[in-house]
Amino acid sequence: MASRKGIVALLAVALVVATAGTALAAKEIRIGVSAPITGDIAALGQSTKNAALMAEEEINAKGGLKVGKEKIKVKFVIEDDENKPESTATVFQKLINQDQVLAIIGSQSSKCSNAGAPIAEAAGVPQISPWSTNPNVTKGKQFVFRACFIDPFQGKVVAMFAKNRLKAKTAAVLYDVASDYNKGIAEVFKEEFARAGGKVVAFETYTTGDKDFSAQLTKIKTANPDVLFLPNYFNEVPLQVQQAHKLGLKAKVIGSDSWDSPDLLKLGAEYLEGTYFSNHYSPDVKNPISDKFVAAYEKKFGMKPDAAGALTYDAAYIVFQAIEKAGKLDRKAIRDALAQTKGFKGVTGTITFAGSPDPVKSAVMIKITGGKFVYDSTVNP
């Protein structure tokens, strides 16, 4: 009995020490990051983590953020949401309740941000999603922002590109009906392509995790479209283009920002040659901020950053700026400062939140040439 009491006492002491530990460590600014570090789009989670750690290191090398009169170091709490909505909800709860973060950067895919945003909103924690382009993520919310453009714009960019540049009269779409992003942009594309005078001759779906698309692609082949739009994540697109190729589909293939990862080319570069996709930025476009970021990232991690990484880096600096402007470590004050962000010059363009949590930014079209992503053109809103 005595020993059991002893253990209880020991545990109590440990608990007190642990709590005191967090209290002492409170002299740091904790910012949560929710990223798909494992799971189907893990390559993107890795670049998110890389970019966040880079921003953290840079700001701490300068002594941290200037809040009021003192300089405080920044600590990113990076959690893995596995690219699953249910895990994202858990990650948001943990970041908010256990880590007491001041703001959250994340998540990346729209289905995950849609799961996290209501939690951040209810708790009054400012959230910036770097890469979620689905309009619903920020809709009707006070605390939720994003660093990227939204799909009503992106879908139109791709539809116009297909119509005007590729001279397509007919188009087919194959998309994941179980994922918010894919479904949203597919519908925008359909509407915009039809509005521009084109005809969508096949509009086919599948469900996350499917590996066999042959039945849908055979149906698309029968419809004989000029272009095939695949607004799906980079881990599934290679299988789709490969199967389309095997079935003898002749349509030109186009994609959207969800293609942007070095992993896309690892799996099916030969079948992707000559295809186009829309994106947030291209490392090929020269501007001082972007060049500096790309060079530093390449030096540190040995590869070019993808758009999700670049947007995460921008989101981090927007949060830094807002915290300094708020002048105190208070979630509401940071939210108000964020909402006044105007003309922030980042790697991926200029970001303004005044008036809307969805920045108006230009898109770029990327062409896959020689097994590489090559800048093609810029489309302004």
Partner 1 sequence: MYTVIIQQALNALQLGAIYALIALGYSMVYGIIRLINFAHGDIFMVGAYIGLGVALFLKPPFLVLVLVTMGLTALLGVTIERVAYRRLRHAQRMSAVITALGVGIFLENFVRAAISANPQAYPVLIAPRTLSLSGVSTTNVQLMVIGVSIALMLVLRYIIRQTMLGKAMRAVSDNKEVVPLMGINLNLIVSATFALGSALAAAGGIFYGQAYPMIDPYMGIVIGWKAFISAVMGGIGQVDGAMLGGFILGTVEVIGATFRSTLRDGIAFAILILVLLIKPTGLLGRPVTKKV
Q: Which residues bind partner 1 (CB under 8 A)?
A: 38-40, 42-43, 177, 204-207, 209, 211-212, 214-216, 218-219, 221-222, 235, 238-239, 242, 245-248, 266-267
Q: Count the Cβ atoms, other than its own, within 10 Å of residue 115.
A: 23
Q: Count the Cβ atoms, other than its own, within 10 Å of residue 37.
A: 20
Please report how close the Cβ of residue 111 comes to partner 1 at its closest, in angstroms: 17
Please report how close the Cβ of residue 327 comes to partner 1 at its closest, in angstroms: 42
DSSP secondary-structure letter at 57?
A: H
The shares of helix, strand and coil residues in the chain, as percent rounded to the nearest 5, are: 50, 20, 30
H/E/C letters for each residue in 205-251?
EECCCCCCCHHHHHHHHHHCCCEEEECCCCCCHHHHHHHHHHCCCCC
The dihedrals phi and psi of 330, each to the nearest 5 degrees, come to -135, 130
Q: Which is nearer to partner 1, 46 or 275 (CB)?
A: 46
Q: What is the bridge-based pairing of β-strands 74-80 and 70-72?
A: unpaired
Please report how close the Cβ of residue 108 comes to partner 1 at its closest, in angstroms: 15
Q: Which is nearer to partner 1, 218 or 321 (CB)?
A: 218
Residues paired with 176 in a beta bridge:
206
Please report how close the Cβ of residue 170 comes to partner 1 at its closest, in angstroms: 18
Q: Which is nearer to partner 1, 44 or 95 (CB)?
A: 44
The DSSP result for 245-313, as a single string, is HHTT--SEEEE-GGG-SHHHHHHHHHHHTT-EEEES--TTS--HHHHHHHHHHHHHHSS---HHHHHHH
Please report how close the Cβ of residue 79 comes to partner 1 at its closest, in angstroms: 15
Please report how close the Cβ of residue 81 comes to partner 1 at its closest, in angstroms: 13
The dihedrals phi and psi of 363, each to the nearest 5 degrees, come to -110, 160
Q: Which is nearer to partner 1, 166 or 267 (CB)?
A: 267
Give the span between the Cα atoms of 253 and 259, in whole angstroms. Answer: 12
Judge whether 109 and 137 are in contact, CB under 8 Å: no
Q: Which is nearer to partner 1, 220 or 351 (CB)?
A: 220
> Exposed (0-12), middle (13-18) or buried (19+): which is 62, by Cβ within 10 Å?
exposed
Please report how close the Cβ of residue 272 comes to partner 1 at its closest, in angstroms: 14
Q: Which is nearer to partner 1, 309 or 349 (CB)?
A: 309
Q: Which is nearer to partner 1, 216 or 312 (CB)?
A: 216
Q: Which is nearer to partner 1, 123 or 267 (CB)?
A: 267
Please report how close the Cβ of residue 252 comes to partner 1 at its closest, in angstroms: 18
